Structure 1
């Protein structure tokens, strides 16, 4: 159930797309025009600047070009979206177009007959997307979602706070990360911002450590055997506990949200912590959550999650995923055409220019202008392996247990040995 993908290049495939099919900015009309009035219920989590107005403008433009089609947008905060979608899918009535990360959650929706098989509908234009970005949305050789964003998790850091603590180079090993934390604390700086309340940001640490210690094969094998009670996964917890024991997080982190005014992103955006481990969207959320809505600007830097001494994994294996959309089983016929419009080269360029999206359409990649996003893109381009977020790659119950167990480890209520037994128990029950 993991989303392991070995390849030499992800965004590096851009060069191969010189003659790729050029996606139209909007549909051709004609046969795509609906027979009668249609309303597309669209749920997404780009509920803040800069992407909120971009999506709204795309919907407005589409409505203007397609008489009889209404796009009813519901922008939702990440956790609120997950809760609302769970309620809708349990009732058997998913929205027409909705945010998806692919992986195990999408597979469960496919098995329940809640989403459309898009394979045939997207064939004329799907070739313009990066193949690697499609991987989490392809199940048993069929396409059930389309990604608009692809990226990786890594460390975002405040260059000024590093300099203040006398740190001149970014760490390349886990031991180096711990040394950086000690130096930042000695300088009176909060080393790391963490949204402890939401749990998913913390699972990034344990997942990456498991990758670095056991390699991608360990994550694949655990999913296959439904067993996480192995030395490599225990060691990942022990390495994470080394960090936790240094008390690196901001005051009140266990009750902190991710994107609230006093949450993880705002703590970084307001200069209140030196680092956060987060995906490619971090700079835009830092900015939108910060007091001045600007974040720390060019003080922000990025470095990949480092190697662990003695580990089987390598620093060129990345952990991340793509943001995409799935189409609900009862969606009106215009929904797939609207999805095609969202993934047009022009609209992907607009998304990329915000700095909040790393585009999946090959032709839009040159629109990446943010220096840090370019670093992320370069890291992806040289990646030798790829792992989808564990809370999306695994079946939902297993992913939730990973999040819950890592939260317990960080809170000090469970040991590294205990959490792998808890995760394994849930995996075996699936």
Structure 2
């Protein structure tokens, strides 16, 4: 039988235990990251890092969520405005990031990165996430857009991919492949951004990074200038050769990726990230055998101001403004040198961390690293670099040009108008 004093002690002890349990539950912090859909290999890489961090930091839960590329672009603005916003989100930098910063969604990481974190990356990578001298994101990897080539098909048509150096060389290859009954290239025109790779890269080759920056400033007639009109002309001349699969404007990126993996076309203009996804999306799950696979630099255009430039992404992560400190701490852990070197060893992407390229295992990844190393300027995807609204216009005009429903002059004028009213 308990005395009143003992009862009081027991009640107090039980209350203390309950309070401790309540505090422990409340102490659990969930850090949720959202990013575009990736390969299973890369997902496993992130999963391993998340579990390692949780083991080292009891009470912190790391969750990754993946959204298909095109859906990600449309859903992210809604997520950021909701009470379901993630703590960390995937970012391409550029004007889109500026829009998010100005809307008050993004945490300033300038101070956090001064303690040696920023030193891990080359200056160009940090610059992609720097706005008005403040850092709003941490770089993960650089991507390069180029032509994936199936040499088993090109060789049937007598095409030597090593000799494709100019735009005319590429056009000649398309003609030769068609003559041999081989679909020259596959493209996911339905999603917009894969077709923008053609117009965007042509504009970069003709104008160069400096010319694109000048257009943003309104110089040389802005985006209605001759080089941007010419980009549309070159794209339409290319489409007249019938380079793409039947129904290319009704084909998604994911489907096009799998089609290339199935050997249904000789070329696929796509980012270097498509190496593993293309294999996994193929019917066999194995894709184009490595011995038949090449990654080609986008060809040069005679007299182009950007022939020495590359085109792709400097991709990374941004932290939402009211995220807990654990989110910043995990992001730094995720992007540390050892984890970036492991990504290189696995071949999931080409990291930007200094020295990580030493671990690259595949010839494709090493080719991408060389393209980046040789590049005098890396132009970020125009549908990202120019901001959300202008980027949507760039994607739309690229598809419209390919279908011949607008003229190159009209396309350039639409981009300029979108830029002026962004």
Which residue, 263, 288, 293 being the options, matches 1:300?
293
Q: 1:76 aligns with which of 62, 67, 85?
A: 67
Over 3 Å off, 4+ runs: 90-94
From 74, 82, 86, the counterpart of 1:95: 86
Task: Note if 1:174 corresponds to 2:167.
Answer: yes
Partner of 1:3: none
Partner of 1:199: 192
Q: What TM-score, normalized to structure 1?
A: 0.88
1:364 Cα deviation from its structure 2 partner: 1.8
Cα drift, residue 46 of structure 1: 4.2
My pick for the range that moved more, 283-292 or 82-91, is: 82-91
- 1:395-414: per-residue Cα shift (whole Å, max 9, x none)? 21111101111111112211
Flag the structure with more relative contact order, 1 or 2, with Cα contacts below 8 A and sequence separation at least 6: 1
Residue 4 of structure 1 is matched in structure 2 by none
Contact 1:227 1:427 in 2 (8 A): no
Distance 1:311 1:121 in 2: 41
Matched, 1:405 2:397: yes
Match of 1:278 among 256, 270, 284: 270
Mapped pair 1:241 → 2:233: no
Question: What is the CA–CA distance in structure 2 between the aligned matches of 1:250 and 1:50, rounded to whole Å?
Answer: 29
How far does residue 311 in structure 1 lie from its aligned partner after superposition?
2.7
Secondary structure of residue in 1 paired with 2:189 = coil
1:101 Cα deviation after fit: 0.6
1:313 alignment counterpart = 306
Partner of 1:374: 366
Q: 2:97 aligns with which of 95, 106, 131?
A: 106
The alignment partner of 1:152 has SS state of strand
* TM-score, length basis structure 2: 0.90
Cα 1:133–1:293, aligned 2, differ >3 Å: closer, same or farther? farther
Equivalent runs, 1:356-367 vs 2, <5 Å: 356-367=348-359
User: Contact 1:94–1:329 (CA<8 Å) still a contact in 2?
Assistant: no
> 1:395 maps to what in 2?
387
Q: Do the aligned partners of 1:283 and 1:295 also contact (CA within 8 Å) in 2?
A: no
Give a deviation string over 1:241-264, Cα, whole Å, max 9, x none. Answer: 1111111111221111112xxx11
Query: Are 2:33 and 2:63, in contact at CA under 8 Å, matched by a contact in 1?
Result: yes
Task: Please report how far the alpha carbon of residue 35 of structure 1 lies from its aligned counterpart in structure 2 after TM superposition.
Answer: 9.5
Q: 1:213 aligns with which of 206, 217, 220?
A: 206
Check 1:223–1:112 CA distance in 2 against 1; reply closer, same or farther (3 A cut): same
- CA distance in 2 between counterparts of 1:407 and 1:90 reads 30
Give, in whole Å, the separation in 1 of the partners of 2:190 and 2:163. 28
- Find the counterpart in structure 1 of residue 9 from structure 2: none
SS at match of 2:63: strand
Question: 1:311-350 residue pairs with structure 2 within 5 A?
Answer: 311-314=304-307, 316-350=308-342
Other-structure match for 1:253: 248
Tell me, yes or no, if structure 1 residue 185 matches structure 2 residue 178. yes
Match of 1:10 in 2: none
Supply the distance in 1 between the matched residues of 2:343 and 2:283 (Cα, whole angstroms). Answer: 24
Would you say the 8 A contact 1:162–1:184 is kept in 2? Answer: yes
Q: How does 1:14-53 map to 2 (within 5 A)?
A: 36-53=27-44
Deviations 1:202-259 (A, max 9, x none): 1111111112222322211111118311111111100111111111111221111112
Q: Which moved more, 1:58-67 or 1:344-353?
A: 344-353
Q: Which residue matches 2:378? A: 386
**221, 227, 233: which one aligns with 2:222:** 227
CA contact (8 A) 2:187 2:251 kept: yes
Q: Is residue 106 of structure 2 the alignment partner of residue 115 of structure 1?
A: yes
Cα offsets for 1:162-193 (capped at 9, x unmatched): 11110123311111111010011111111011
8 A Cα contact 1:153 1:320, kept in partner = yes
Contact kept, 8 Å, 1:227 with 1:428, in 2: the verdict is no
- Residue 4 of structure 2 aligns with which residue? none
Q: Secondary structure at the match of 1:281?
A: helix
The Cα RMSD (Å) is 1.7
Q: Per the alignment, in what secondary structure is the counterpart of residue 246 of structure 1?
A: coil
Structure with the greater alpha carbon radius of gyration: 2
SS of 1:156's equivalent in the other structure is strand
Question: Is the 8 Å Cα contact of residues 42 and 96 (structure 1) preserved in structure 2?
Answer: yes
State the distance in 2 between where 1:35 and 1:132 align. Answer: 41
> Which stretches in structure 2 are left out of the alignment for 5+ residues?
1-24
Distance in 2 of aligned mates of 1:383 and 1:332: 38
Count how many residue pairs are aligned between Structure 1 and Structure 2: 393
